[in-house]
Amino acid sequence: MTDQQHNALPAGALVTVIGGAGFLGRYVVEALAKAGYRVRAVSRHADSALFLKPLGDLGQIQIVTGNIRSDADMAAAFAGAAAGVNLVGILAESGQQKFAALQADGAGRAARAAAAAGVSSFVQMSAIGADAGSAIPYARSKGEGEAQVQAALPSAVVLRPSLVAGPEDQFFNRFAAMARMAPVLPAISGSSLFQPVYVRDVADAVVAGLTRTDAQGRIFELGGPDVLSFTAILEMISQLTGLNRQVVGFSDFTSGLLAKLGDVLPFMPMNSDQLAMLKLGNICAAGMPGLAELGITPTPLAAFLPQMMERYRAGGRFAKATG
């Protein structure tokens, strides 16, 4: 990285990470600590985030309680910080956890608190398909969140990942677990395309977004080197787990019925919002800057997915995948 690509965020600076205890959060906290920064990881339940402590040196990672719906919590979270990251996001609404409250207004609240604290750089985690004008609540809230962040911090970096894949993800693991229990795997909107991106690549993109001056004020779409249909992904899961489950395609009508069941039954493969997003596809738009522009070489699925799927095989890691 050249001097022109690096900002004035010095080693040892304090970076606040909202949502630091989530799936992506643990990797972002680890990457920041490895890069020499002090990290303040903010979680609604600080006790559940203590596992983050060993990811850095003694005293390098601080765990604090904070809710993105609270102005006071966000002000305290960014007090004294040099940079900030907002990772808060949900895949489905429940209770007070609503898309608008967290992904739109919450994102704006975090950015305004960061701006008031004088942070020098900020990264907002969004998603491919974010669109403030969308009829889909998830996509609309992501787009509105981007707009609120950019209004508060014009230099903020927005990252829009495709499907984030890694050891604790809620996609590959969910369908691999389903393959253990069900005789078939449901290919709902099976022709829809995904561009899975490795969680550590996304974490590295966060660090790059905070430290590269050529990234400031820009939007990046993050995808891996593999572009696969939903059906192909399910077939890959079936093969790598050695479970040889048949992948069954569903009509739009049947998919819609299953998604409506998912609106009320959390164990279903997806809900109506997720089906609507799935039909739009989940690949990076042509011409959008991505991992390469942040100096990151995308990691292929073959480099980590087979190992992830080992635990779902009947004989564990010592059983061979079929093929």
- Per-residue pLDDT of 106-134, as tens digits, reads 999 999 999 999 999 999 999 999 999 99
**In angstroms, rounded to a whole number, what is the distance separating the alpha carbons of residues 306 and 310?**
6
- Looking at CATH, the fold of the domain delimited by 3-162+197-223+284-294 is given as Rossmann fold (3.40.50)
Q: Tell me, rounded to whole angstroms, the distance of Cα 264 from its chain centroid.
A: 24
Which sequence spans correspond to the domains of the chain?
3-162+197-223+284-294
Give Cβ neighbours of residue 58 (< 8 Å, ≥ 6 apart). Answer: none
Q: How confident is the model at residue 234 (pLDDT cuts 50, 70, 90)?
A: very high
Report residue 5's pLDDT band, with 50, 70 and 90 as the boundaries: low
How far apart are the C-alpha atoms of 323 and 238, rounded to whole Å? 10
Helix boundaries (H) for the chain: 23-34, 71-78, 99, 107-117, 137-152, 172-181, 199-211, 230-241, 252-262, 272-280, 305-309
* Residue 90 predicted with pLDDT over 50: yes
pLDDT reported for residue 316: 64
pLDDT at 322: 54
Rounded Cα distance, 39 and 77, in Å: 11
